[in-house]
Amino acid sequence: MTNPTNHMATSDSAGNEKDMEGLRSLVSSCSACPLHETRTLPVFGSGNPSATVMIVGEAPGRNEDESGEPFVGKAGERLNEVLALAGLSRDEVFVANVLKCRPPRNRNPRPDEIDACSSYLIEQLDAVGPKIVVTFGNFATQFVLGTKQGVSEVHGRLFRDVTVSHDGCSASSAVSVYPVFHPAATIYRPQWRVVLEGDMQRLGDIIRKMG
């Protein structure tokens, strides 16, 4: 499977809302992987198009698939809670997923789907131009860091000068990356919730030091 936009991201697009709208339009009609057959709506992402902090999750769930928006309902409430621990509000950040369409029954993303969708996220990174990318859970962390390590091994660590690239598409600027457990995965695991909350508080300290 090739990249749907099939080109290298360029620095021209940094912080450019117009490019975001162009990308949104491409995603809305994308059929580059089989998930387009089962989705209700693609979920492009939302938030501040010039955010300092960008959140990268895994894939839309049922509510997101129906609304076309990321992190709605309970997932959205939980996101707001963990952002607040870092002193952030939803309006300040940009939120996107690795996959823009919901995998049936919320199964894990497949490698061919990630390959097909990868250039959209990389171009979103270029368009927003964040200083720090917070990855939620294994799939987002492995994609952004280009690692096979799970989030339980790398959470709460700041990785500097990461150039996000995948399947021939590369971001034009390096970013800092901060992996944490996915908030949805912590709902039924209190021990992970405590770790996530500590990591988000430390994220707040890191952001304040960055100025």
Residue 137 host element (H or E)? helix 137-145
Of 109 and 183, the one with the shorter C-beta distance to ligand SF4 is 109
Of 99 and 127, the one with the shorter C-beta distance to ligand SF4 is 99
Cβ atoms of 29 and 96 within 8 Å: the answer is no
Of 1 and 206, the one with the shorter C-beta distance to ligand SF4 is 1
CB of 23 to ligand SF4, least distance (A): 10
Measured between alpha carbons, how far is 97 from 180 in angstroms, rounded to an integer? 14
CB of 27 to ligand SF4, least distance (A): 5
Measured between alpha carbons, how far is 20 from 209 in angstroms, rounded to an integer? 29
Of 95 and 196, the one with the shorter C-beta distance to ligand SF4 is 95
CA 149 to centroid of chain Cα atoms: 17
Residues engaged in binding ligand SF4 (CB under 6 A): 4, 27, 30-33, 35-36, 42, 99-101, 113, 116-117
List CB contacts of 25: < 8 A, sequence separation 6 or more: none
Cβ atoms of 65 and 40 within 8 Å: the answer is yes
- What secondary structure does DSSP assign to 146-211, as a single string? T----HHHHTT-PEEEE--EETTEE-SS-EEEEEE--GGGGTT-HHHHHHHHHHHHHHHHHHHHH-
CB of 51 to ligand SF4, least distance (A): 21
Of 35 and 177, the one with the shorter C-beta distance to ligand SF4 is 35
CB of 36 to ligand SF4, least distance (A): 4
CB of 52 to ligand SF4, least distance (A): 26
Cβ atoms of 64 and 102 within 8 Å: the answer is yes
CB of 157 to ligand SF4, least distance (A): 29
* Parallel, antiparallel or unpaired: strands 94-97 and 53-57: parallel
Of 119 and 186, the one with the shorter C-beta distance to ligand SF4 is 119
